[in-house]
Amino acid sequence: MDATPQLNVLALNSGSSSLKFGLYCVGSSRIEKLVSGEAESIGEKNGKSHAEDLRGNILLAETGRIPSQREAIIRIGRLLIDCKMPLPAAIGHRIVHGGPKLRQHCLVDDSVLTQLEAATAFAPLHIPPALSVIRFAQEHFPGLPQVACFDTTFHAELPAVARVLPIARELQSEGIQRYGFHGLSCESIVRRLANDLPNRLVIAHLGNGASVTAVKGGKSIDTSMGLTPTGGVIMGTRSGDLDPGVLVYLMREKKFDAAMLEELVDHRSGLLGISGVGSDMRRLHEAASTNADARLAIAMFCYSVRKQAAAMIAALGGVDLLVFTGGIGENDVEARAAICGDLSWLGLSLDEDRNRSANNPINDSRSRCAVKVLPSQEDEQIAHHTWALFPWSVVG
């Protein structure tokens, strides 16, 4: 067998109502994306499906109801056949949370599925759809090795000072700790920087979900999200950090139960809760000229990210590079400028033209800290890990 065999890997990145996918040809030192796409608004009447090949040619653009994640996977399989794409030899899955027992990327077997089911309590919004996608993929692509790639793995070796939560010791022993998320995104940034990786790196992954991570020598040493992906900075519909007394007050005075609290902090807070307009920053920018609440939501988001960035810089003892990634981080010129504007005290300054064009680095020549905009490549990371964990004996 070739010392560096290649593998066709289907990467599946599931959300509660979406399924992103990419088919990659992966080797030890190279990766090529053959096709990618997404099924959106699954289960709703206004569903969308789109896909494109490696040259950006549109292979699929459909609107209409997609009944389930299972149907989305069937359509992906049909697309690969119709477009004469090579069928995958393995499938990799993004799993947001593996709980306290699943901290490393791994091949999926019955034991892993059982442990994932047990971890549902840690991420009830994310794990059930991810489990469904794994099972549907096993059904539609029988016999193919499947790999679970965890967003928490990058943060698995957080030092105790960042990992341990200030609660009773008996609760800590039950796995209630800081896990951190967006790990696959952070891994992709570290991999992208490669030989240019600085010792002190801050990654601001800013999208509908948002987090800020401190990376020292390529390792996560602190991150803004905690036990769940709800904590940290203000997000699209998630609150980020809250005084725990707010939740106690709502339980005591407003008779909120767990489901009502979860609905509030995960779906009716953040940018949506502040603005009353929506959770999408593009929509908020459009409304900001006439809507004070939209302006406040944008300002609070940037303020929240700036505070977390400063905290991560303190954890690192300084910073060599700040990276913006994620949908907002990569595309929102005004948000990047606002976040960096009040970090000038540490000698950070942006070049306005470079920031507007995302021409790296986007800092100016006077800045004591480099600033870059790099795309998050979570699906490529999934493909890399799947290649690394593939049981080559099955084809030997």
CATH at residue 35: 3.30.420.40
Quick one: tokens of 295? Answer: 């302006």
User: What is the percent of the chain with per-residue pLDDT over 70, rounded to a whole number?
Assistant: 98
For the residues 330-352, what does the mean pLDDT come to?
96
What gap in Å lies between CA 13 and CA 32, rounded to an integer?
A: 18
Q: How many residues are present in the chain? A: 396
Q: State the total domains in the chain.
A: 2
Quick one: tokens of 345? Answer: 């005290």
Q: What's the pLDDT tens digit per position in 290-308?
A: 999 999 999 999 999 999 9
Sheet (strand 58-63) strand order:
58-63, 48-53, 31-40, 19-26, 7-14, 90-95, 146-150, 106-107
Instruction: Specify the pLDDT at position 159.
Output: 98
User: Could you give the dihedral angle defined by the CA atoms of residues 329, 242, 262 and 205, in that order, rounded to the nearest 10 degrees?
Assistant: 10
What gap in Å lies between CA 337 and CA 396, rounded to an integer?
A: 53
Instruction: Specify the pLDDT at position 31.
Output: 94
- Last-in-domain residue among 150, 170, 188: 150
pTM of the model: 0.94
Classify residue 182: in a domain, yes or no: no
205 and 146 part of one domain: no
Band of residue 1 on the pLDDT scale cut at 50, 70, 90: very low
What gap in Å lies between CA 133 and CA 93, rounded to an integer?
A: 8
360 and 224 part of one domain: yes
The single residue listed with the structure tokens 């939740």 is 247
Q: What's the pLDDT tens digit per position in 84-143?
A: 999 999 999 999 999 999 999 999 999 999 999 999 989 888 899 899 999 999 999 999
3-class secondary-structure state, position 393:
helix
Do residues 324 and 334 touch, judged by C-beta distance below 8 A?
no
Quick one: tokens of 230? Answer: 């709800």
238 and 111 part of one domain: no
Classify residue 189: in a domain, yes or no: no
16 and 84 part of one domain: yes
The domain in which residue 110 lies consists of 7-150
- Last-in-domain residue among 94, 126, 150: 150
223 and 364 part of one domain: yes
Quick one: tokens of 315? Answer: 């954890």
Classify residue 1: in a domain, yes or no: no
Classify residue 380: in a domain, yes or no: no
Give Cα separations from 368 to 135, 214, 338, 346 (angstroms): 50, 18, 18, 8
Instruction: Specify the pLDDT at position 3.
Output: 59
**Residue among 179, 259, 164, 171 at smallest CA distance from 227:** 179
Give Cα separations from 169 to 99, 172, 174 (angstroms): 18, 5, 9
User: Could you give the dihedral angle defined by the CA atoms of residues 108, 19, 305 and 219, in that order, rounded to the nearest 10 degrees?
Assistant: 30
Instruction: Specify the pLDDT at position 43.
Output: 85
49 and 136 part of one domain: yes
Instruction: Indicate the residue type of 220.
Output: S
Q: What's the pLDDT tens digit per position in 225-246?
A: 999 999 999 999 999 999 999 9
130 and 205 part of one domain: no
Helix runs in the chain, H state only: 69-82, 110-118, 127-140, 160-163, 169-172, 183-193, 244-253, 258-267, 270-275, 281-287, 292-316, 326-331, 333-341, 352-357, 378-389
35 and 127 part of one domain: yes
Classify residue 191: in a domain, yes or no: no
Number of Cβ atoms within 10 Å of the Cβ of 251? 14
Classify residue 395: in a domain, yes or no: no
Q: Which residues carry out catalysis? A: 151
For the residues 332-356, what does the mean pLDDT come to?
96
Instruction: Specify the pLDDT at position 137.
Output: 95
Q: What's the pLDDT tens digit per position in 247-274?
A: 999 999 999 999 999 999 999 999 999 9
Do residues 367 and 349 touch, judged by C-beta distance below 8 A?
yes
Q: Average model confidence (pLDDT) for the chain?
A: 95
232 and 319 part of one domain: yes
Packing angle of the helix pair 69-82, 127-140 (nearest 10 deg): 40
294 and 229 part of one domain: yes
Give the torsion sign (CA, 326, 331, 335, 336): positive
Band of residue 212 on the pLDDT scale cut at 50, 70, 90: very high
144 and 68 part of one domain: yes
What gap in Å lies between CA 114 and CA 162, rounded to an integer?
A: 29
14 and 132 part of one domain: yes
373 DSSP β-pair partners: 324
Classify residue 312: in a domain, yes or no: yes
What gap in Å lies between CA 342 and CA 63, rounded to an integer?
A: 43
For the residues 377-385, what does the mean pLDDT come to?
96
* pLDDT score of 73 more than 80: yes
* pLDDT score of 2 more than 70: no
Residue 240 DSSP code: -
